[in-house]
Structure 1
């Protein structure tokens, strides 16, 4: 494997709209995380993008899965990579005022969460308030992450923030060129970002606007 193989797969996914777009007009950006896995022969990269889709009616963690060792499916996201997080959606959205909060507690993956929010608050604001304390409930657990990659493939890097491409191809992004070098060599020191992170939801104002 080499870096060109990796960035070429990411570029191909971007051309098919299968690479994560944090400005996705159908999802309000909430949170993100990146995972890199490798050994001497295999590599995998998973980018999580948590967002709120009013059309889908849930807060969803979308896993974008890439690699040369996928155990099922193709690079990008398939239906089972869309992980809805809220169990009691019908209780939290005000039916008379769509996309606003009814004021009840939120059930996330079987756990009831009290949110510092009031009836009538915008749902996207409510969900973003979950992140500081409850982000691990929103992001993928190990079972979810390993669904399409080998269980024995070591994770060598996890990023909670990075500089994500905004319009350019992954191969034109310093972040993903460096990550490709890390995946090729195993040397995590090759990841040396030269731009500030931009994965916080506030940096993607066009997300969810369609």
Structure 2
């Protein structure tokens, strides 16, 4: 386990378009989270991008898992978790807008919606996210589906600075992911000392979801 090997894995996944990309044209971004895990010999990073996918017809938590101890699969995408149980009720015509006066049901929990009929679905989901992150993002079982259950958590990031384009700026060349690699290599969360402003809020990515 070295910083260079960690960053090398990140770069390889970015080259294959399997690294978290907030500017993805197929998802309207709603929320995001990164969690870091490690001990003296093992490391893992799980990144989640929650977004509304018109093609997928749901609000989807796209889970990416990285590490030297994955329990199955290769580094990169590890899960696509549909979150809304009643899409046919909130958008019966498939027009990507809210039908109105219908709760959004997530994992069996009905969430009241403060939105009028005709509101774009990405805006509906964005209004729900701040108060319902625990339902919308991965639970512990989902989160650890590809990493060891006994691996200690080191750090949780609810926001960070993300490059606009991984074709131009590799993870290994960006402050955020270099610091993440330092945390994973050392086991010391204090190594994460960002100087760049966070930009993971959906408002920073207006072109995402436009394909």
- TM-score, normalised relative to structure 1: 0.97
Q: Secondary structure at the match of 1:55?
A: coil
Matches within 5 A, 1:27-42: 27-42=27-42
1:165 Cα deviation (Å)? 2.1
Partner in structure 1 of residue 98 of structure 2: 101
Q: How many residues align?
A: 207
Aligned to 1:185: 186
- 1:2 and 2:2 matched: yes
Deviations 1:149-199 (A, max 9, x none): 000000010010011122111001101001101100111111100100000
After TM superposition, the structure 1 = structure 2 runs for residues 83-122 of structure 1, keeping only pairs within 5 Å, are 83-95=81-93, 98-103=95-100, 104-122=102-120
What CA RMSD, in Å, does the superposition of the two structures yield over aligned residues? 0.9
Question: Measured at CA, do residues 94 and 119 of structure 1 come closer, stay the same or move farther in structure 2, by a change above 3 Å?
Answer: farther
Determine if contact 2:52/2:59 at 8 Å carries over to the other structure. yes
Separation of aligned partners in 2, 1:51 and 1:43: 26
SS in 2 for 1:20: coil
Separation (CA, whole Å) in 1 of partners of 2:193 and 2:111? 37
1:136 equivalent among 134, 155, 165: 134
The runs of 5 or more residues in structure 2 that have no matched partner are none
Return structure 1 stretches of 4+ with deviation > 4 angstroms.
none
